[in-house]
Amino acid sequence: MPTPAENSSSPTPIKQTKFSFGATSAIMTNLGLIVGLAATAQPQVNIIGGILVIALADNISDSLGIHVHQEAEGLPAREVWISTATNFLTRLFISLSFVGLIVFLPINAAVICCVVWGALLLSLMTYAIARSRGIPPLAGILEHLGIALLVIMASKWVSGLVMAKFGK
């Protein structure tokens, strides 16, 4: 069996796994932030600012973490850089799609649309992964949507605690 270093000269196709981590991270983090900040005094400004900070700072640190992890595993440099760039761009584009909804819709409608959009993206990604593995997708979709619901509920709960303590 060839080692990763021996395969470094052959082109590396971009696989689903290159998108799935970044997409999941962007969906879950942004949904938590959107729902958590929706009740603040200036939700549109707070949410857009929060998403953009996540889309840059957290995204860069996350992509660097993947980069260093894959280097430590001894993967070929080309594959490491493809993973790094794919993770960064996937998270950036998903984050910007949430910003678009917040910018162009009234805040209450935007929050609902963001939750539906995030659930749809997560479901489609889970479906594609399950189909590629040859397993029924419904259980995976329900599992992932359940986890997303936990993130949303926890974010709403924490937001309520913070607003009760520090809000006007």
Are 98 and 53 contacting, i.e. CB atoms less than 8 angstroms apart? no
- Contact between 149 and 26 under an 8 Å Cβ cutoff? The reply is no
CA distance 4 to 9: 10
Q: Could you tell me if 114 and 30 are in contact, meaning their C-beta atoms sit under 8 angstroms apart?
A: yes
154 backbone dihedrals φ, ψ, rounded to 5°: -65, -40
What confidence score (pLDDT) does residue 17 get? 62
% of the chain exceeding 70 in pLDDT: 89
Residue from 58, 42, 18 nearest 107 by CA: 42
Q: What is the pLDDT of residue 20?
A: 79
| pTM of the full structure | 0.85
